[in-house]
Structure 1
Amino acid sequence: MKTSTLWLTGLSGSGKTTVSIALADQLANSNLCTYIIDGDILRSGLCKDLGFSLDDRKENIRRAAEVAKILNDAGIVVICALISPLDEDRRIAKSIIGEHNFFEIYLSTPLSVCEKRDVKGLYKKARAGLIENFTGISSPYEAPQTPWISIDTSDKNIDEITSSIINKLNAQ
């Protein structure tokens, strides 16, 4: 497998972080150097100056893509776990990273399932108006029209999900 960026997109609660960790483990077992760029971690450091407006989200995604490109250039497979709600922003990330190194993975888990998985109570707070600009509730999420792969995580276990992705990668 060539050095690339696996860009996981989907609603909060769709499984992006869980899938990214499992993917990193499987790729490491194949002696590939990997790094996970997780949205929550980015916002605690590199992007802590950003809020959740659409402009701030665009900048958050741009920064993540720039870091992913640098890591790809160093020979590291990057797994980005970011909501990245707008198609335009994902296209910008793809142009930064490079079309042949960018693999968009859409975790198409339905909103109702994401809400049931919400251990932090964010959806409940967003529906009560306590959180502004919450993706899927008060801020838009544009599902990818032509993702590299689309997986609904609501009816699959983590091994099935990661196997689907790894098998598709190996077929490249």
Structure 2
Amino acid sequence: MENKESFIPYVGKIIDIKQETPDVKTFSVVGLDGKKLFEHIPGQCAMLIVPGVGESMISITSSPTLETHMEFSIKKCGCVTEWLHNAEVGQEICVRGPIGNGFPVEGALKGKDILVIAGGIGIAPVHSVVNYMMDKRENYGRIQVIYGSRSMADLVRLEEMQNVWMKQP
């Protein structure tokens, strides 16, 4: 799905910031027109660019089925991510993407039982995949997620996993 347009940055606006763990925040981003920046495949990422600071490759955490905005769950671990963690709703950033191949959700995984294993912030790229499969539940067999972290406080998007994922058939 990567094409030459993937390398042209879009200007995005942060519309929501949610503190997930002590060092992870989830940012909801739209284009300046108030719409989703671009379409992607579950598991793809984007380059988040902060002019004058740098750029960082970040997994797109939201499913392509989310039509209103894009989400990025970001661990604070460098100058770009630190800037983002200090950002406020309404601030603008540049986003280039989609980048990467993503997961074969419409190919090899379709009709199969799925086991997802992730740790810590490694949940970010597969979060998109799980939500995509849940939104298209009839296309997949049994979906199981094994997720861990160093401590309970470091579990990213735990509330969603407990209140949404675990209640799905």
The TM-score with structure 1 as length reference comes to: 0.28
Higher strand share: 2
Which structure has more relative contact order (CA 8 Å, sep 6+)? It is 1
Q: TM-score w.r.t. structure 2 length?
A: 0.29
Structure number having the greater helix percentage? 1
